[in-house]
Chain A
């Protein structure tokens, strides 16, 4: 019994390719254990298998009082830079287009309870993530997943990540056509393709069927495909409007149009050409500038398009470009039950509430899509196999994950809705409110992510609880607002495209750090993530529920008839928006409100690592705190200037705000720096940039480079796009200045 492993048991159930890939990975693990693989090479290798790091895997943990070493065995054994072999990590599991079968749900549930903590987490890119996984368990986990056709290949790393697709594709009321089979063919074609192995950074594609809905969110992706039909030679022809160079991250970019219409047979070769151009010309050394959005911005879309067109001409023919097109006429999803109707029966109020928010009428009469509202994107192993049984009973394999961290059951025959609701409720998955203000998106944040600054999930849980309690009495105007939360500036929670977004940061009050969230207002989810919100100010984490109440109350009071949240924010302007949150921006002293100095769901005194060094007791504010404040104000003024369609002034103010922040930092070491921009930048560079004191552990010198770039290469004719970008960079630079000062520790105090 003991000599037989999953490899043997599942040998006939895995494809040869998947089985071989997993064997190779297992071999690489062995080599790494023997010290025969470079740590960076192995790190990228495991990332390309979805085997990711997790918080505390460097062997350090702050317990609220001090940073302590975790007593892992074999500390010399690592699985990448600063990543201990025995420290548990995260496993990301790719789900192309979010499509799942009931059998796959069963296996996902089983690997979750045997290899992780029994919780499956749906991500904002339709993946699953399991946490606290030991690396030794990953090959067998992969084999069990492979036995039902799931691969973790290229779920992380510098590769083509999960190909996302609208969860309503194929049943949507407003789509041009079903993008699903195209996204599936695309994912299959690019998986492990030679031309996608040499990227400087990750590459995220998305497919969409509707321009006006959120759908595939193509505007925020590295490449996006929007379904189009054109008349060619008198006949309707399928194709896609193709976007490139979008992305959220620290500095969000709206995608540019690469092609107004790419016929269906050209989608794959055109993408291959893009991949080659990106691999050849994309940044490789500085990973902070390595996403394709930076290449597109650097070259300009016209030049990028020209290069892609030239590359396309050189590609050797590949039958796979069009082979799948022959199968399209036969592509269909099969419902398990015939179409039926609810027929106006009287149901409970709770069912009706759920029906209103969680059920979408398909364009196929008699069928609906049911959204299973997962709190914070989580469900247990037990819930997962129970959900698999519900799927088998009502919809078969027509299950998908969503980018709002939920699961949908498609092709539900309408008369089944009441019984389906009761069965979902019985397994704790019958919550109403899908897609409404209570259905909050949050990245893992400080719960498990190595990059998390503040507790996005803790905050999301708190907001969800509070809003659910009063959901029945919420005004209609705010019921459908989107709240999205990221634990840091990296935007995994997609805060830029929500009505009310937050990303985690920190501020210092006295000798203590306080968890904060930057408030981002007015982003647009619809129109494929049509526009990004802008930061209006940072508030202490513990005030966020009140901030949400205040903002939404003002919106309800002041909105004109039919005015959307984005329109209202646009009308009042960011200055007034900042005024709304201003009362919450004050920083109490630790002695006044100690609860402000710990995060949601985490009683430890908040820290980014070590607690700030004690400078001096008493009512004092550091010189740095005094001088950084005008920099923040100026960055805000830059946003106002941009609102007023004055990009030149916005650019100038954003640059000035960076100078002020840099000056504040320089003056913690050198008081007589003066006001000359050249001198400030020179001192900043020599004291903080060249010495790497300013460097973020993960972003390295990226944020400092923003100032150096703007100082040495001012834009003579800034437009709205470039000014917007510079403002984002200025905000990040200021954040980094705060972080640097916290790390280094200022020692000049001013009495107030």
Chain B
């Protein structure tokens, strides 16, 4: 299946005991210290004035890292914007790998350590490509069904056989969205270690 125009993965905070504003200096430092491999980081955008939105963005050329408060579900959202891969599996592998790397960087950051924790028993995956992956209103689009199967096949080896991928019944104007439930909740290092098996 074709790689979507953009692909995002959001991991949710289990705990977050700091103000979102605290991420601003951290993200500026990440840019300065070039901490993310294989990505060019550009700037930090402050949208904390928006209710339930993307509060703080670390904007990059290939991807954005977002402290995202949408739907009152705070999490770290990774949006892969370009160069993700040639097909959906490739794109998922790249996106997941970089997103998990972002999770690790966040949890272990010198200024954030001990003040937050991200969960790996659930994630939200969004295919931002209404041309190739339309979110048909009745929930039975062929592309959506095929994408769900592909995601399930790719994610099970990583998150365990009990992991499930379900389609979110959202508005047809919204991008095609899936939820990952992974009761085994493998730890981040284990996931990063296994990511070669995706695709």
Q: Are A428 and B50 in contact (CB under 8 A)?
A: yes
Chain B interface residues (CB < 8 Å from chain A): 2, 5-6, 24-25, 28, 31-32, 40, 42-54, 57, 59, 61, 64, 70, 81-82, 128-132, 143, 171, 173-175
Contact partner, A88, options B61, B171, B173, Cβ 8 Å: B61
15 new A-B pairs (CB below 8 Å) besides A72-B61, A88-B42, A602-B44?
Answer: A1-B2, A61-B43, A68-B32, A114-B6, A114-B129, A114-B175, A117-B57, A117-B64, A131-B45, A383-B53, A428-B53, A447-B46, A458-B46, A464-B49, A601-B46
Q: Is A435 an interface residue (CB 8 A)?
A: no
Does A752 make an interface contact (CB < 8 A)? no
Task: Report the Cα distance A497→B198, complex, angstroms.
Answer: 58
**B49 and A461 contact, CB distance less than 8 A:** yes
A482 at the interface (CB under 8 A from B): no
Interface positions of A from 79 to 123, Cβ below 8 Å from B: 86-88, 106, 109-110, 113-114, 117-119
Q: Are B50 and A64 in contact (CB under 8 A)?
A: no
Residues on the A chain within 8 Å of B45, using CB:
117, 119, 131-132, 447-448
Q: Which residues of A sit under 8 angstroms from B44, Cβ to Cβ?
A: 602
Tell me if B131 and A380 are in contact (CB < 8 A): no
| Complex Cα spacing A2 to B131, Å | 9
Contacts of B24 on A, CB cut-off 8 Å? 601-603
**The 5 nearest A-B residue pairs measured at CB:** A428-B51, A375-B49, A603-B25, A63-B32, A380-B53
Over the window 588-615 of chain A, the binary record of Cβ atoms lying under 8 Å from chain B Cβ atoms (1 yes, 0 no) is 0000000000000111100000000000
Chain B nearest CB: distance from A469 CB in Å? 14
Residue A6 CB within 8 A of the other chain? yes
**Per a CB cutoff under 8 Å, which of B28, B54, B129 touches A117?**
B54
The number of inter-chain residue pairs (CB within 8 angstroms) is: 106
Chain B residues within 8 Å of A64, by CB: 28, 32
Min CB gap A604→B, angstroms: 6
**Which residues of chain A are near B173, meaning CB under 8 Å?**
106, 109-110, 385
- A640 CB to nearest chain B CB (Å): 38
30 A-B pairs with C-beta separation under 8 A: A1-B132, A6-B131, A9-B131, A61-B31, A63-B28, A68-B32, A70-B40, A71-B40, A72-B40, A110-B173, A113-B128, A113-B175, A114-B129, A118-B54, A119-B47, A119-B50, A119-B54, A131-B45, A132-B45, A375-B49, A378-B49, A378-B50, A380-B70, A382-B53, A428-B50, A428-B51, A448-B45, A457-B46, A461-B46, A464-B49
**A526 CB-CB contact with B under 8 Å:** no
Residues of B within 8 A of A110 (CB): 130, 173
B53→A63 contact, CB < 8 A: no
Kindly state the separation between the CA atoms of A114 and B131 in the bound complex, as whole angstroms.
11
Q: How far in angstroms is the closest Cβ of chain A from B121? A: 25
The chain A residue sitting closest to B32, CB to CB, is A63
- Asked if A547 is at the interface of the complex by the 8 Å CB criterion, the answer is no
Residue contact A55 to B43, C-beta cutoff 8 Å: yes
Given A1-B132, A109-B173, A114-B129, A375–B50 Cβ distance below 8 Å? Answer: yes
CB contacts (< 8 Å) of A86 on chain B: these are: 61
Closest CB in chain A relative to B77 CB, distance in Å? 10
**Chain A residue contacts of B5, Cβ below 8 A:** 114
Known: A117-B59, A603-B24. A376 touches B49 (CB 8 A): yes
For residue B115, give the distance in angstroms from its CB to the closest CB of chain A. Answer: 17
Kindly identify, within residues 444 to 499 of chain A, every residue whose CB is under 8 Å from any CB belonging to chain B: 447-448, 457-458, 461, 464-465
**What chain B residues lie within 8 Å of A106 (beta carbons)?**
173
**A5/B32 contact (C-beta < 8 A), A114-B6, A380-B50, A602-B24 known:** no
Query: Given contacts A64-B32, A114-B6, A117-B45, are A1 and B143 in contact (CB under 8 A)?
Result: yes
Of B46, B81, B173, which is in contact with the most chain A CB atoms at under 10 Å from its CB? B173
**Cβ of A65: which chain B residues have Cβ within 8 Å of it?**
32
Nearest to A464 among chain B residues (CB) is B49
A134 at the interface (CB under 8 A from B): yes
- The distance from the CB of A119 to the nearest CB of chain B, in whole angstroms, is 6
A379 to B81, CA, bound (A): 21
Which of B6, B42, B174 interacts with A70 by CB under 8 Å?
B42
Q: Is A584 in contact with chain B by the CB < 8 A criterion?
A: no
- Give Cα A428–Cα B55 distance, bound, in whole angstroms: 13
B59 CB contacts on chain A under 8 angstroms: 88, 117, 132
Closest to B48 in A: A461
Does A360 count as interface, using CB distance less than 8 angstroms?
no
Give min CB distance, A112 to chain B, whole Å. Answer: 11
